[in-house]
């Protein structure tokens, strides 16, 4: 039986700071099958990127430390592995596209050398072969005039071109899992559509499992098979993408969808908003972290943390109000 490319079970990451211990990722569980896209959504500060960096084992220790759970990559738990072992795994079995391509690239190294470095680290190819592979990768990601771009520096490329370079580096060794962290945030709408289409094509060709991190629900509707909604480091809802948009169960999910512009809206139409802000990790309220912002909050919500339940087949929700309705 073939192992699921990525399984995360009860992942817990804590930040140990002078202000005390902060639960950055609090019991996250998810799985991503071959060729499947799972979107992580939520406002800024909800723990999406910290979850991705925890999965990649890229958070600095100190102050961050994985204190519990498993991250199984093709059946192997990578949490206990040392950094030397992780250097061999990153880029080879699991790749990551970072949200700011300009900061992800070295400004004083040519594009060819940056891609070739990834290729040589995991394939054993020599410099000449690695350059040929870099050229091939740039063509694969649709880089215009790929041969000439090899000797360019990042500042000589547009934002969309730099993002294509970052994608080329992430897929250079044909990883089975790809994490895309806000890959279109800094791009204009036209380039954003091109990058999304590129990722879909590359995933279809290679059968990669993909985690797509975004706050843009319009992008989620286009790209995801399943959606995991996060709030204050915890998963609060999970569902198939069509089910989530058709009937969001958690009040936070409903708020996110209500605050999303829809085609055909007129200038007079007002978007719904969620009052308040995501709490800081060192100032989480007791009970449900969303309770201070929730119109459906009960007294119990302020005392206890709701666990994930299955109110409807195929759905997971952490909400006392939803669980009560389903009972």
Question: Per residue in 71-97, pLDDT tens?
Answer: 999 999 999 999 999 999 999 999 999
- More confident site: 287 or 327: 287
* Crossing angle (nearest 10°) for helices 159-170 and 189-206: 20
pLDDT band at 136 (very low <50, low <70, confident <90, very high): very high
pLDDT at 243 over 70: yes
- Note the pLDDT of residue 267: 52
- More confident site: 99 or 93: 93
The model carries a pTM of 0.93
Stretch 40-59: mean pLDDT: 96
**Mean pLDDT for the chain overall:** 92
- % of the chain exceeding 90 in pLDDT: 82
Domain boundaries, the chain: 6-93+175-261+272-278, 103-174
pLDDT band at 44 (very low <50, low <70, confident <90, very high): very high
- Note the pLDDT of residue 280: 92
Stretch 230-242: mean pLDDT: 97
CATH class, 6-93+175-261+272-278 region? alpha beta
pLDDT at 35 over 80: yes
Q: DSSP alpha helices (H): ranges in the chain?
A: 48-56, 83-89, 101-104, 111-123, 127-140, 146-149, 159-170, 189-206, 217-223, 241-246, 251-258, 299-303, 320-326
- Note the pLDDT of residue 263: 60
**Residue bearing tokens 């087949």:** 313
Lowest mean pLDDT segment, chosen from 21-25, 73-77, 94-98, 256-260: 256-260
CB count within 10 Å of CB 89 equals: 18
Lowest mean pLDDT segment, chosen from 177-186, 238-247, 289-298: 177-186
Nearest to 230 by CA among 52, 6, 108, 69: 52
């Amino acid at each position: 039986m073939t192992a699921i490319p990525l399984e995360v079970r009860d992942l817990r990451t804590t930040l140990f700071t002078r202000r005390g211990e902060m639960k950055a990722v609090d019991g996250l569980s998810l799985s991503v099958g071959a060729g499947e896209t799972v979107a992580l959504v939520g406002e800024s500060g909800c723990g999406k990127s910290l979850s991705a960096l925890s999965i990649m084992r890229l958070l600095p220790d100190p102050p961050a430390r994985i204190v519990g759970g498993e991250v199984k990559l093709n059946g192997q738990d990578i949490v206990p592995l040392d950094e030397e072992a992780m250097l061999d795994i990153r880029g080879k079995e699991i790749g990551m596209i970072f949200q700011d391509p300009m900061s992800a690239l070295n400004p004083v190294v040519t594009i060819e050398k940056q891609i070739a470095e990834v290729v040589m680290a995991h394939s054993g190819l020599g410099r000449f072969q690695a350059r040929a592979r870099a050229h091939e990768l740039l063509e694969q990601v649709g880089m215009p005039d790929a041969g000439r771009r090899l000797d360019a520096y990042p500042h000589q490329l547009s934002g969309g071109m730099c993002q294509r370079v970052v994608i080329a580096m992430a897929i250079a060794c044909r990883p089975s899992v790809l994490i895309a962290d806000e890959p279109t945030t800094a791009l204009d709408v036209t380039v954003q559509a091109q990058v999304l289409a590129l990722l879909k094509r590359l995933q279809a060709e290679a059968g990669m499992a993909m985690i797509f991190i975004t706050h843009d629900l319009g992008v989620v509707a286009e790209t995801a098979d399943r959606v995991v909604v996060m709030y204050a480091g915890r998963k609060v809802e999970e569902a198939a993408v069509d089910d989530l948009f058709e009937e969001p169960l958690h009040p936070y999910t409903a708020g996110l969808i209500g605050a999303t512009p829809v085609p055909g809206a007129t200038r007079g139409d007002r978007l719904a908003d969620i009052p308040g802000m995501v709490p800081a990790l060192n100032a989480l309220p007791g009970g449900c972290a969303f309770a201070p912002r929730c119109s459906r909050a009960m007294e119990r919500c302020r005392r206890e943390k709701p666990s994930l339940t299955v109110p409807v087949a195929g759905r997971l929700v952490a909400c006392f109000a939803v669980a009560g309705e389903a009972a």
